[in-house]
Structure 1
Amino acid sequence: MNFESAKWRRDALDDVVIDEETLARRRRRRRNIIIAVAVVAALLIAALLFMGGGGEKAAPGEGKQGQTLPAVSVIVPGRQDIPAVISSTGSLAARRDMPVGVPGEGGQIVRVLVEPGQWVGAGQTLAVIDSRVQTQEASQLAAQIEVARADLRLAQSELDRAQALVGRGFISQADLDRKRATRDAAAARVRVAEANLGATRARIGRLAVRAPTAGLVLSRSVEAGQVVGAGSGALFRIAAGGEMEVRARLPQTDLARLSTGVPAVVTPVGSDREYQGTVWQVSPIIDPLTRQGEARVLVPYNQDLRPGGFAAVRITAGSTTAPLLPESAVLTDDTGTYVMIIGPNNAVQRRAVRVGSVTDRGVVIAEGLNGNERVVESAGAFLNPGERVRPERARPAARQ
C-alpha cells in the first residue's frame, strides 16, 4: 500500500510540466533578491564606518569633512647682522690725471721718447724740442761773460796802480774814485752777462717736456716734427702713481651714510674679477637738479682698470640687525610691499613690510617683522588671508 503511494507521487511529479516563462520569472526574482541583499549589506558597512569615525578629530593636514589642506613652505628668519651695502655704478678715471704741456716758448719736436701705457719717473724726459738756436745764444752769452771779465781785470789793475801812486801825489783822489767806479761797473757787467747766460740755459732746459711726477702715461698727442708752443695744450696725460678711481654717483641719503676710508669692491663691466678699494673722497656738494653727489673710490693700479670705462661698485657702510628673507617671500601690489605669514590655527595672514635694501643674500626687512613669524617662503601670491594651510618648515634660502 505504501509502495504504491510513493510510486504515485513520483509519477505525479514526472507528469508536471514547467514552461520557460515560469523559469525566467524565478531567475529574475532570485537575482533581485541577491541585489537587494548586497545593497543592504553595503549600506550597513557604510553606516558602521561613518558611526565609528564620527567622534574622532580631523587629522592635522585635513580640514572640514576630511578635506586635505594645501602644504606651504615657511621660514622663521630671525634677526641677523647684515652689512649695509650701497650699490652703484660709475666711470673709471685716474685719481690724479695730470696734463703735461710745453713749459717754455716751444719749438719743433725732435723726438718723442714715451708711449701710452709706459711708466715714467719724476723729471723723466718725454719729448725733446729743437734747441739749436737757443744753444747758439747761450754760446754768445758765454763769450760776452769772458769779455766782461777781461774788462773787470783791466779795471782792477788800473785801480791797484792808482792806489799805489796816490800816496806819492801823482794821482788825485778824484782820479782814484773814477777808477774805482770803472772797476765796479765792469764787475756789474760780468754779473749781468752771467745772469743772461743762466736765463738762456734755463729756457733751453724748459724746451724738454718732462714728467712732473712718477706715474703711468695715459695718452700722447704729439709727433716728431710737430711745432708746439704755450698754446698747444696737453701733449701727454699721466696718471700720478698709476692710481685709479671710480666716480660713483649716489643719492643724497646714501652719501650721508658714507665716510672716507670705508671699504668698497669694484667690478669692471665685462669682467668677473673684483678689486678692493676704499672711499677716499665724498662729495661736499649735491647736484640741485639730480639730488646726487659723487663718492670717489680709490683702486690700486691694474691693467684691467682703464680710465673711461664703466664699473659696478659695492660700498660697505656699516651694518644693521634685521630679518632677512629670500626675494620669493616678498610680494608687491598696488597697496604696497607685504609678506604672507602663518598665524594661529595655521591661518594665512597678510603683513605689510618695508624693505630696507636688497643684497646678494636676500631682502632686508626694515619694518613689519620681528623675525619670529612663520613667513611663507614662496607662492604667497596664490594664498588668501584667512585660508588654512599645512605649514612645512624649510631652511631659509637667505642663509644658504
Structure 2
Amino acid sequence: MNYETQLTGDSMVIIDEDDSRRRRKRLLMIGGGVAILLVLGATWIAMRGEKAGGPTAPTAQVPVVTVVRPGQSMVARTVSATGSLAARIDMPVGVVGEGGMVTRVLVQPGDWVRAGQTLAVIERSVQTEQGRSLAAQVEVQRANAKLAQAQLDRAKALSGRGFISAADIDQRTATRDQADAQLRVAQAQLAEQQARTGRLDIRAPAAGLVLTRTVEPGQIVQATGGVLFRMAKDGEMEMQAQVAEGDLATLRNGNSATITPIGSSRSFAGRVWQVSPVVDPQTRQGIARIAVPYNAAIRPGGFASALITSGSGNAPLLPESAVQSDPKGSYVYIVNAKGQVERRDVTVGQVSDAGVAVTGGIDGTESIVTSAAAFLTPGQKVKPELMKAP
C-alpha cells in the first residue's frame, strides 16, 4: 500500500492513494449513469409527446388551396384562323374610251366618291371640235326637214284646187320623210360623238372608297393601259380567312366573327358571308370570307387573325389562373378524395372574359385548383377550400 503524508497547519494527515482512486472512479460511474438516465428520460418524454400529439411533436404545414367545381356551362364553339384583309368588292377603274393625255386627276387614295363622279379628265380638244361640227350638221338637217315639210303643206293646199297632181304630193311627201330621216341620222351621230367625248372622263362605277391611284397629269393612257384607280365598293372590307378543312365544314354563312389586325390592339366585329366550296389540295385549307364594316384601321393587303363562332355547346368554364401549360400541353391540378394533388391534361377551347372553356380532360365535377397551382406538385397533400364557379 502507498501512503502520502501531508502537513496541514500544525497537524499531519496521512492519505491512502489507492482508496482515493477508488472513490474518484465510483463518482465517475455514478455521473455517467445519471447522464444516461437523463437521455433516456428525454427520449421517453419526446416519444410520448409524439403519440399524444402534444406540443412537443413537430407538425408539418399543409397548404390551403382554393378549388372550384365548375360543372357545365353553355359556351361558344370557335374556330381560329388567319388571313388577309381586302375590299369586299374590289373595283378596278381604267380607260373605257379612246384614251389620250390626262389633264387632271381629281381624287386621292382614301377619298370617298359617289357613283359617276369624275376621277380624272383626258384632253379632248379634237373631240370637242368634232362635236361642234356634228351639231352644225344637225341644224342643217333640221332646216332641210322644215323646208320639206313646208313644201309638202303648200302642195297639199294647191292639190285641192287642181293645180298639183297626186304624183307631186307623193314626191314631196317622200322628200319630207327623207329630210326627217337625215335629221335623225345627224342627231344620232352627234349623240355618239358626245358619248365618246364623255367617256374621256374616267368616272367611278359606284359609290365607294378610293384605294389606289396609278395615274398623274400629263400621262398618256389607252384603253388597254391597265388599272388607273382601285376602289372598294361602299367602303366595305372583308377578311379572307384561311380555315383548316375540318373546321371549314362547321362554318355557315352568317356566323359571327371577331377580327384583329396584326399590330393593332383593336378588334372588329364581322360576319361570314361566303364559305369556300373548294379546299386547296396542297394546304388542305379553304377560305371563309368575313365581311367587316369600314374602319381606318382595316387596310386592304394587311394581315389579321379571326375568331369565328361556329356554334355553342356545354363545357366546364374555369378561371384563367386554373389552367397551366408546359411543353406537354395544357393541364389543371385537381384534388382527389385523399386530399392529394393530381395533374390532369385538358383541351382548351375559347378564352373569353368569362373564363377558359375546357373541351376535354374534365367533366366539371372535379375539385380543380384555381390559385397557387404553379407552386404545387403531383402527390402533394393540400387542404382544399371551395369557391363558387365563375
Place the TM-score, normalised by the shorter chain, in its bin. 0.7 to 0.9
Question: 2:287 aligns to what?
Answer: 294
TM-score normalised by the chain length of structure 2: 0.82
Please identify which structure carries the higher strand content.
Answer: 2
Structure 1 match to 2:216: 223
For residues 331 and 164 of structure 1, what CA distance do their matches in structure 2 show? 109
Give the one of 55, 68, 74 matched to 1:76. 68
Give the Cα–Cα distance (whole angstroms) in 2 for the partners of residues 373 and 342 of structure 1: 8
Select the residue among 157, 162, 184 that pairs with 1:164: 157
Which residue number corresponds to residue 129 of structure 1? 122
Equivalences for residues 3-22 of structure 1 within 5 A: 15-18=12-15
Q: Relative to 1, partners in 2 of residues 1:22 and 1:276: Cα closer, same or farther, differing over 3 Å?
A: farther
Residue 256 of structure 1 corresponds to: 249
Structure 1 segment 317-336 matched on structure 2, within 5 A: 317-325=310-318, 326=320, 329=323
Deviation at 1:141, TM superposition (A): 0.9
Q: 1:242 aligns with which of 215, 235, 244?
A: 235
2:35 aligned counterpart, secondary structure? helix
Structure 1 residues 380 and 374: CA distance shift in structure 2, 3 A: farther
| Residue 281 of structure 1 pairs with residue 279 of structure 2 | no
CA distance in 1, matches of 2:132, 2:219: 26
Secondary structure of the residue that 2:175 maps to in structure 1? helix
Give the count of matched residue pairs: 375
- The Cα of 1:200 is off from its aligned counterpart by 0.8
Indicate the residue corresponding to 2:30 in structure 1: 33
Q: Aligned-pair distance for 1:270? A: 1.6
Task: Quote the RMSD (CA, aligned, Å).
Answer: 3.5
Question: Would the alpha carbon gap of residues 243 and 258 (structure 1) be closer, same or farther in structure 2, given more than 3 Å must change?
Answer: same
Deviations 1:127-164 (A, max 9, x none): 01111111111111111112212222232233233323
Deviation of 1:237 after TM superposition, in Å, equals 0.9
The equivalent residue for 1:390 is: 382
Question: Does the 8 Å contact 1:266/1:277 carry over to 2?
Answer: yes
Q: How does 1:94-105 map to 2 (within 5 A)?
A: 94-105=87-98
Alpha-carbon distance in structure 1 between the residues aligned to 2:18 and 2:264:
97
Q: CA deviation at 1:369?
A: 2.1
Percent identity between matched residues is: 48
Structure 2: which 5+ residue stretches go unaligned? 1-7
Matched, 1:366 2:359: yes
The worse-fitting range, judged by mean Cα deviation, of 32-41 and 259-268 is 259-268
Task: State the SS of the aligned residue for 1:127.
Answer: strand
- The answer on 1:46 being equivalent to 2:43 is yes
- Do the aligned partners of 1:345 and 1:388 also contact (CA within 8 Å) in 2? no
Deviation larger for 85-94 or 98-107:
85-94
* Higher mean C-alpha displacement, 283-292 vs 133-142: 283-292
- Give 1:305's aligned amino acid: I
The 1:333/1:313 distance shift into structure 2, 3 A limit, reads: closer
Query: Normalized against structure 1, the TM-score is what?
Result: 0.80
Letter in 1 for 2:291: L
Q: Is the 8 A contact 2:236 2:294 kept in 1?
A: yes
Q: Secondary structure at the match of 1:17?
A: strand
Q: Encode CA deviations 1:45-101: one digit per residue, 9 max, x unaligned.
A: 4235435654x689xxxxxx9895875846334133333333222212122221111
**CA deviation vs aligned residue, 1:341-384 (integer Å, no higher than 9, x gap):** 43333355565x5515252566533234221223456359953x
Determine helix, strand or coil for the equivalent of 2:338.
helix
| 1:210 counterpart = 2:203 | yes
Structure 2 SS opposite 1:359: strand
Query: What secondary structure sits across from 1:29 in the alignment?
Result: helix
**Counterpart amino acid of 1:312?**
S
2: CA distance, partners of 1:184 / 1:77: 97
**Cα 1:124/1:333, change in 2 over 3 Å:** closer
In the other structure, the counterpart of 1:355 is: 347
Provide the rounded CA distance (Å) in 1 between the counterparts of 2:256 and 2:141. Answer: 67
Separation in structure 2 between the aligned mates of residue 314 and residue 146 of structure 1, nearest angstrom: 68
1:27 Cα offset (Å): 3.6
1:4 aligned residue: none
